[in-house]
Amino acid sequence: MAHLLKKPLKLALVQLATGADKPANLARARSRVLEASKAGASLIVLPECFNSPYGCQYFPSYAETLQPSPPTKEQSPSFHALSELAVESKSYLLGGSIPEYVETTKKYHNTSLLFSPEGDLLATHRKVHLFDIDIPGKITFRESDVLSPGNKLTLVDIPPYGKIALAICYDIRFPELATIAARKGCFLLLYPGAFNLTTGALHWELQARARAVDNQVYVGLCSPARDMEASYHAWGHSMVVDPNASVMCEAGEKEEIVYAELTGEKIEETRKGIPVYTQRRFDVYPDVSEGRIKFDE
Ligand X SMILES: NC(=O)CC(=O)C(=O)O
Rounded distance between C-alpha atoms, residue 13 and residue 218, angstroms: 13
Select the residue interacting with ligand X from 50, 62, 161, 195 (CB under 6 A).
195
Neighbours of 96 (CB within 10 A): 31
Question: In 20-142, where does DSSP find H-type helix?
Answer: 22-38, 59-62, 77-89
Q: Which of 200, 221, 188, 209 is nearest to 13 (CA)?
A: 221
Nearer CB in complex with ligand X: 97/270: 97
Residues 124-143, interacting with ligand X (CB under 6 A)? 131
Active site residue 169: yes
β-bridge pairing 43-45 and 9-15 = parallel
The answer to whether 83 contacts ligand X (rule: CB under 6 A) is: no
Question: Is residue 183 a contact residue for ligand X (CB under 6 A)?
Answer: no
Q: Which of 127, 186, 222, 250 is catalytic?
A: 127
Q: What are the respective helix, strand and coil percentages of the chain, to the nearest 5?
A: 30, 30, 40
The reply to whether 169 sits near ligand X by the rule CB under 6 A is yes
Q: Which of 49, 64, 169, 250 is catalytic?
A: 169
Does position 59 interact with ligand X (CB under 6 A)? The reply is no
Asked whether position 173 contacts ligand X by CB under 6 A, the answer is yes
CB of 132 to ligand X, least distance (A): 9
By CB under 6 A, residue 170 contacts ligand X: yes
Q: Which stretch binds ligand X (CB under 6 A): 28-36, 193-201, 218-226, 285-293?
A: 193-201
Burial 99-130 (b: 16+ CB within 10 A, else e): bbbbeeeeebbbbbbbbbbebebbbbbbbbbb
**Positions marked catalytic:** 48, 127, 169
- Contacts with ligand X by CB under 6 A lie at 131, 169-170, 173, 194-196, 199
